[in-house]
Structure 1
């Protein structure tokens, strides 16, 4: 076994000797630490406290559905569904003209659509 400058026993003795001594920082070190602390605190003193705004009711509801764009798409799909559902069947024929060639011309999908616009 080759001998190095410091063996394990020497290292253990060194640590035992240092363990009994209290570490005392020098005055220059304490002065630098305090100067750095004062310098770091100056930008913090310039900060202003802002009031936190919480999202409103409609924002929270829109957030549950995936955001404002998802709610806009949902509303536009619902509106188009109402328009198609309430419109006259002849208007639907104009919109769907040419979508299917195998439908007969004389097929009557809604024989009477008066129930949608009657009162009472």
Structure 2
């Protein structure tokens, strides 16, 4: 049985046989289910819907910016920007001079195969 390969048609035949042989639930079971449903439905009442509380301006602003995680990132970036602006690090001029006035030309930055093709 496990070595037999079933085609799609064979499987469909088996599924149709399974669908046709579906037993109906007993009437006593259906009656008990309906009795339980009526009992549960009778004990419940509709809930009272109260007024929806209004959100404040700050809550709307936080939601508009993307929530508390985004507001935390925005606050961190603001504090770092203020700190860098206040401290004014002197190393920035050194980095700028090294990047713009370096000893390498633009041709030195382009990759080439000259080192691999040299004879020797």
Instruction: Please give the range of the TM-score, normalised by the shorter of the 2 chains.
Output: 0.3 to 0.5
TM-score, with normalisation over the residues of structure 2?
A: 0.38
Q: TM-score, normalised by structure 1?
A: 0.38
Write 1 or 2 for the structure with the bigger share of helix: 2
Structure showing greater radius of gyration is 1
